[in-house]
Amino acid sequence: MAGVPTTSAAQWKNRILDSSGVHALSSAQECVCGTPQIYNVVVLLRLTPLDITEAKDAMMLWMFDQVSRTLHDRASQVEGENLYNLFMVERYLPSDEFIEAVDGLTVVQKTHIGELSIGGRNLELDQIINGVILSLPDEVQVKARNFMMLMNTLVCLHSSLQEPPYY
């Protein structure tokens, strides 16, 4: 991409949340996102700026079908020689049950969610997503929460105009 400044893996990693999981500013007063584990997942998936934009749009409208397919496609390309890498990525992929639960919301509900999103009413959005997640079996809830942490990290990366490292 000519004319687009690149961000090295080390610089990009510095924009990740500290290990406590609390949003913090780096010494350069830049927004940071995610956790070290999520950073590793983003790097392993080799997400592009377009993928990050797709994730932001999916979060705005709660339409996770396409971003789920993208993540699963990218996960299938993770080099299989390291089982730990595959395990790490798998932990953050959405389950079919979660995607079906979100897809089961009515048009009226999704419209309201979009309005809450546009209005920046994150507390209400968190309550709604927690309700959807709590309605799922226990083993699915963990994956759903991990997926939402990944999605929130990608939204943060988009809003801070940061890109994952180029390969």
**Mean pLDDT in the chain?**
78
CB 160 within 8 A of CB 26: no
Indicate the pLDDT class of residue 80, thresholds 50, 70 and 90. Answer: low
How far CA 119 is from CA of 12, 60, 109, in Å, comes to 29, 11, 15
Lowest average pLDDT, out of 11-20, 64-73, 136-145, goes to 11-20
Task: Determine the average pLDDT of the residues in 107-120.
Answer: 92
CB 42 within 8 A of CB 154: yes
Q: Which residues contact 99 (CB under 8 A, 6 or more apart)?
A: 64, 65, 68
- State pTM to two decimals: 0.74
Q: In the chain, where are the structural domains located? A: 34-161
Q: How much helix, strand and coil, in percent to the nearest 5, is found in the chain?
A: 60, 0, 35
What is the pLDDT, as a whole number, of residue 41?
87
Indicate the pLDDT class of residue 82, thresholds 50, 70 and 90. Answer: confident
